[in-house]
A and B are shown apart, each in its own frame.
Chain A
Amino acid sequence: MQPVVQFENVNKYYGALPAVDGLNLAIEPGQFVTLLGPSGCGKSTTLRMLGGFEQPSSGEIYLEGKAISHLPPNRRNVNIVFQDYALFPHLNVGRNIAFGLELKGLSSDAIHKRTMELLALVKLEDFAGRMPDQLSGGQRQRVALMRALAPDPNVLLLDEPLSALDAKLRQQMQIELKTIQRTTGKTFIFVTHDQEEALTMSDVIVVMNKGRIEQMGDPNELYSRPRSRFVANFIGQSNFLEGKALSVDGTVATIDWNGTAIRADVNGTQPAKDSPTTVALRPEALYCLAEQPQDRFALKGRIVQRVFKGAHTALTVDLENGAQLHLQLDPVALSHIGTDEIWVGWRERDAVVLAD
């Protein structure tokens, strides 16, 4: 399938500083794609280049196969939902949504019909005549979304649109956004620094750091198979086990970690023998037993700290080999542990070798 959006070797410099550095990215149509990263990682610049508000310093951007770098924003069939909505304060809700339609040369009857359809989609038909400052934050959000969808763009861009909402409303809007994306079948490109938001809504997450793509994949893959230390740390939390590769057998590597031989998924890498190797391990992927198990791998350790977090409890465990691990245990698993002397283990597919 032809990608709907494609970045080809796109660079963007502010002075000598690279904001986006050699970006290559292809986005399939109809997907909910999230650009995720800390502030300053280049995700917003990427979005603004696609919208036409920034010009790439070099490289080319294609929209449905056509190069669009030289086109001004008004000649691109993409629309943005801005961070603070940018609703026109002098126009009512209906005229805000109709703004893009009016510029398309539709008749006023057609404009009216389409606007009312869009309002119905977010159940705001009764608010057509209201001014933006008479709306709640969530309602403004919906109006901004419909205004951007009104001209029927190929791709809808969303620039951290939920950041101004409170936590409850944000969760509700996440689901609503996803639903609207499904019903309209449009490609959504969503920018956020909130990993939970990204995991909830996306078909594909693109993790960016320092102007480059760190990793791209579906949420599940990113979470369970992080490729780099950055991704493993930015999405959820991880234990990093630093050791030396001993051998590689198919997809499983054996690593010398503080004198203990552990096994981990190579995760697409090819660690050379004796090279320093890092393994990432999620705190909630660890199991914890009172006795040494006969059938599974486990290491002896001692609980040095327990922090109650509600749904789970965070444990810090000092192992006999001198290393320290962080665990998250649910109440049921925790209830089996009587003493501080415990055995900790993991399944070998939950431990992944990192590329850096």
Chain B
Amino acid sequence: MRPYFADLPKTALGAAYWLFAVYLLLPLALMTAMSFKDASFIAFPITDWTLNWYAQVLQDKQFIEASLYSIGIALATTAAATVIGVWIALLVTTEGIWGKAIIFALACLPAVVPGLINAISMRIFIRTVDIPTGTTAIILSHSVHAVPFVVIMVLTRLRSMPANLVDAARDLGADPFVAFLRVTIPYLMPALLGGMIFCVLTSIDDFVRTFFLGGYKPTLPMLIFAKVQGGMSPEINAMATIVLIVTAAVGLYAERLTRRSRN
């Protein structure tokens, strides 16, 4: 009936998709391209190419130290957030407990409070309880940020778990702890792995919390921020490209894990 226009919306939507993809990927592609520029300042066009910036970054002590520091914080954050997140999820799914909806809502609170306010309130809090700014404070605030996501991922998986799996384990002689370790945890594993990688990445990415709670030692985002605010040279591009490739690869892997756990 409308032979000429029938496909128009589809074509337009397709165009919108590809434009959006270009919008998302072009800046990162430009950033990557700039990392190969053989000049000491950032400007287009690029005429000479080099790998020197990468060589320089990989020998940069500051970069390596900041990376290791960030990874350390991320791992500690992940451990804490995973344990607490699973614990909260278990509490929320236990039969016969009063106020589960409230507990769940409060567990998700940090996810709806804007990041800056999270950071500031934590800054005030650690002063109240006498924790100095620095590693402990960063790990605490990153964990608080990550817990809601772990809770939600674990809850989703727990809700799909047949109720009588734990009953079966108990029936076969497992006490509640053994049943948890041998049945519940393996069942949660795909969701847990996905959630853990998510924790690692959000912790490594985080800027605003570290900005308010960090000590003198810079994390990776703090280092990049300082370099961007100082003079700009393609060294930053090389640094950012390395981080981009590593985190995107890990992120894609996590995505696959969680997707598989849902099926």
- A and B directly contacting (CB within 8 A): yes
Interface residues of A (CB under 8 A from B): 51-53, 72-74, 78-80, 82-84, 86-91, 99-100, 103-104, 147-148, 150-151
Chain A residues whose C-beta falls within 8 Å of the C-beta of B187 in the assembled complex: 89-90
Asked if B164 CB lies within 8 Å of chain A CBs, one says: yes
A80–B169 CA distance with the chains assembled, in angstroms:
10
How many whole Å from B69's CB to the nearest CB in chain A?
Answer: 36
**Nearest Cβ distance between residue A2 and chain B, in whole angstroms?**
24
Q: List chain B residues, Cβ under 8 A from A83.
A: 164
- Judging by beta carbons under 8 Å apart, are B168 and A90 in contact? no
| Docked pose: A151 CA to B171 CA in angstroms | 10
Contact A147 B172 (CB under 8 A): yes
Decide if A103 touches B172 in the complex (CB within 8 Å).
yes
B114 on the interface (CB 8 Å rule)?
no
Is B19 in the interface zone, CB < 8 Å from A?
no
- Chain B: how many interface residues by the 8 Å CB criterion? 18
Which B135-194 residues have C-beta < 8 A from chain A?
162, 164-165, 167-175, 178, 182-183, 186-187, 189
Q: Are A88 and B168 in contact (CB under 8 A)?
A: yes
B165 touching A73, Cβ below 8 Å: no
**Which residues of B lie under 8 Å from residue A88 when comparing CB positions?**
165, 168-169, 183, 186
Which of B162, B165, B170, B189 is close to A74, meaning CB atoms less than 8 Å apart?
B170
* 25 A-B residue pairings within 8 Å (CB atoms): A52-B170, A52-B171, A53-B170, A74-B173, A74-B174, A82-B168, A83-B164, A84-B164, A86-B162, A87-B168, A88-B168, A88-B183, A89-B187, A90-B186, A91-B186, A99-B169, A99-B174, A103-B172, A103-B174, A104-B173, A147-B168, A148-B171, A148-B172, A150-B172, A151-B172
Given contacts A84-B162, A89-B187, 13 further A-B contacts (CB under 8 A): A73-B167, A74-B172, A82-B164, A84-B164, A86-B164, A88-B165, A88-B186, A90-B189, A91-B186, A99-B169, A103-B174, A147-B168, A148-B171
**Chain B residues, CB < 8 A from A87:** 168
In the assembled complex, how far is the CB of residue A44 from the closest CB belonging to chain B, in whole angstroms? 12
A interface: dominant SS: loop
- The minimal Cβ–Cβ distance linking B170 to chain A, given in whole angstroms, is 4
A100 to B167, CA, bound (A): 13
Distance in Å: Cβ of A334 to nearest Cβ of chain B: 49
Our pick among A80, A91, A104 for the contact of B171 (Cβ within 8 Å) is: A80
Nearest CB on B from A223, distance (A) = 33
A73 touches B170 (CB 8 A): yes
Residues of chain A within 8 A (CB-CB) of B170 are 52-53, 72-74
A102 to chain B, nearest CB (A): 9
Chain B hits for A86, CB < 8 A? 162, 164-165, 167-168
Residue in chain A with minimal CB distance to B170: A73
Closest partner residue, chain A, to B163 (CB atom)? A86
Q: In angstroms, how far is the closest chain A Cβ from the Cβ of B242?
A: 36
> Which residue from chain A places its CB closest to the CB of B172 in the assembled complex?
A100
> B residues within 8 A CB of A148?
171-172
Min distance, Cβ B45 to any Cβ of chain A, angstroms: 56
Query: Residue on A with the closest CB to B161?
Result: A89
Whole-angstrom distance between the Cβ of A160 and the nearest chain B Cβ: 12
9 smallest beta-carbon distances between A and B, as pairs: A100-B172, A103-B173, A86-B168, A90-B186, A73-B170, A86-B164, A74-B173, A82-B164, A80-B171
Q: Which of A73, A84, A91, A100 has the most CB of B within 10 A?
A: A73
- Contacts A84-B162, A89-B187, A90-B187 hold; do A53 and B167 have CB atoms under 8 A apart? yes
Determine how close the nearest CB of chain B comes to the CB of A151; give it in whole angstroms.
6
Inter-subunit contact B173/A80 (CB<8 Å) = no
